[in-house]
Structure 1
Amino acid sequence: MKMKIEDHIAFTANHKDWKVGDKLVMMEDHKIAHFLASVSNTVNLKIPEYLTDVMDIARIRNLAEEIGEKEPWEVLKTLKSPGTSRKLNPMIFEDDKKLKKLLLDAAKALLAREALSKKFPVSYPEEPIRELRTTLMYNEDHINFTAKHGSWIVVKRLIIDDKTPMADVARILASINETTVSKIPVYAGIDLKGIEGWFGDIKKAKSDSEIKALVDKLLTIPIEQYAPEEFAGHAKVYALRIALQKVGLSIDVPSKSLEKYLEKS
């Protein structure tokens, strides 16, 4: 007899002194959205910690502080500038050019998240998961994220031992974040197409005037038109993501870049 898996979403992390977890079984759409947002906030807080072996997180944060003091449009311009990439380069502990570029993708996203957090909401309104509210699925050190709701089934799991590179933990956390980012709008009723339409007259923002126009649109978006009131705060983060695409920036560490780095290193 096949065991029927109940609809649920669960996240557990057990590594060194990080022991947290939660599970959702009341699968109403709005509860799913809130839970996923909480998971996203949780993993994003920890990703930098797991990248300290491959990049100088303290220096990246200092650079973010410096950039974050500028006007909002200048923050975007600076993050996008080749000069910023040149500043980031020595902060990455890798000599191989191709591998360095993959880590640079992650460093740029971290820098953008940190710098932009001074001007815009980059996290969701939910509290991150800070304690263990469910049973750990494994005795071993691990990161585990599972979800089943209707036809949506996902399993993202990493068992951590002495040989596990810390960047691999960052990779799984980034991958979990990507899943939450793709699913929150579905369950929160956020109209991504509508938000994209709001920025529709700006194809790419390269010049100062284009970046200023983009930021102006971001600051004046009538967000209540694109999301239920309960998820207006979440929709603002998506508006930021969509605006950033116009300048080729992201606040989400790309798991694929870390995956390729780990495969090739």
Structure 2
Amino acid sequence: MRVEDQIVFTAHHGNWKVADRLLDMDDEKVAHFIASIANTVNAKIPEYLTEVMNVAGISSLAEELAQKNLSDAVVALKSPGTARKLGQLVFEDDKKLRKHLVDVAKALLVREVLSKKAPVDYPEGPLSEVRIVFPYNEDHVNFTAFHLSAEHGKWRAVRRLIIDDKTPMADVARLLAGINESITLKLPVYAGIDVDGIDAWFGEFKKVRKAEIPAVVEKYLHFPAENYAPKPFVEHARVYALRKALEKIGLPLDVPAKSLEKYLEKK
């Protein structure tokens, strides 16, 4: 039986109850919907990391770094001193496992610091209502995307986790991070964001040294987003430009699902 083209996101865990579905697979509507899902999961990730790191401590460090201007804040985020502080904020003694958690903590810190300086989320609000029947009785997070009739390539994605008493909360964070990564790859396709053009905008920067970080930040600040996306998605393009600028510097905007996966595998 052919599965109907649709995108579904449901979450049922504790007080978090969200359920929505998109059936009208018009490109613009898909882009807005998955942007809302990305905002939803990114907002929840920190809550699911409190068992493995001091999230409140990371927020406190973010407040401190956010006092700086944007260039100085990014320089500080990249500094070895900040990495050492993050190492003290994760709950792990094993050196290899701690590195995976520090990578995750760094992404949390980068996102929180920069959220006070620049747009890190998409303009759409997060999903917050139960609009459809939950597909499972158990606590769960579920993201399903089927768009097999898309002109720009089929999209078939299922990210699902049934949550019980034995589920590590970091595993929920891993799933949420994976959903965000899937959407990060697909959003430009549906929104018409010129990611190759954004890459080219920062193309002059290769291996960025500390002294070059302000130049990358300046390049980001002068990014003409309106030239790289249709009008409804100009602000989305700006987020992608920030992501690319940080990538050049060696900083993550998004929590890496792979780091959490590796941590959980070895734990």
- The question of a shared fold, defined as TM-score above 0.5 by the shorter chain, is answered with yes
Q: What is the TM-score when the length of structure 1 is the normalising length?
A: 0.97
Deviation at 1:254, TM superposition (A): 0.5
- Is the 8 Å Cα contact of residues 69 and 118 (structure 1) preserved in structure 2? no
Work out which of the residue numbers 201, 204, 212 in structure 2 matches 1:198. Answer: 201
Q: Is the 8 A contact 1:125 1:234 kept in 2?
A: yes
1:138-157 equivalences under 5 Å are: 138-150=136-148, 151-157=154-160
Matched-pair contact (CA < 8 Å) for 1:51–1:57? yes
**Deviation at residue 251 of structure 1 after TM alignment:** 1.2
Deviation per CA, 1:98-139, whole angstroms, max 9, x where unpaired?
Answer: 111111110000000000111110000000011111111100
Counterpart of 1:68?
66
Match of 2:26 in 1: 28
Q: Does the CA-based 8 Å contact 1:55-1:92 persist in structure 2?
A: yes
Alignment of 1:224-263 (within 5 A): 224-263=226-265
Unpaired segments of 5 or more residues in structure 2?
149-153
Identity, % of aligned pairs? 62
What does residue range 3-14 of structure 1 map to in structure 2 within 5 Å? 3-14=1-12
Q: Distance in 2 between matches of 1:168 and 1:73?
A: 34
Paired amino acid for 1:226: Y
Q: Which letter does structure 2 place at the counterpart of 1:79?
A: L
Q: Which residue of 2 aligns with 1:186?
A: 189
Tell me the secondary structure at the aligned position of residue 161 of structure 2. strand
The within-5 A match list for 1:113-124 is 113-124=111-122
Residue-pair matches, total: 262
Task: After the TM superposition, list the runs of 4 or more consecutive aligned residues in structure 1 that deviate by more than 2 angstroms.
Answer: none
Which letter does structure 2 place at the counterpart of 1:171? R
Residue 86 of structure 1 aligns to which amino acid in structure 2? R
Per-residue Cα deviation, 1:144-179 (whole angstroms, up to 9, x for no partner): 000001221111100000000000000000000000
Decide which moves more: 214-223 or 232-241. 214-223
- Given candidates 49, 53, 57, the residue that maps to 1:59 is 57
5+ residue gaps, structure 1: none
Following TM superposition, by how much is the alpha carbon of 1:203 offset from its aligned partner in structure 2, in angstroms? 1.4
**How many angstroms apart in 2 are the aligned matches of 1:21 and 1:81?**
41
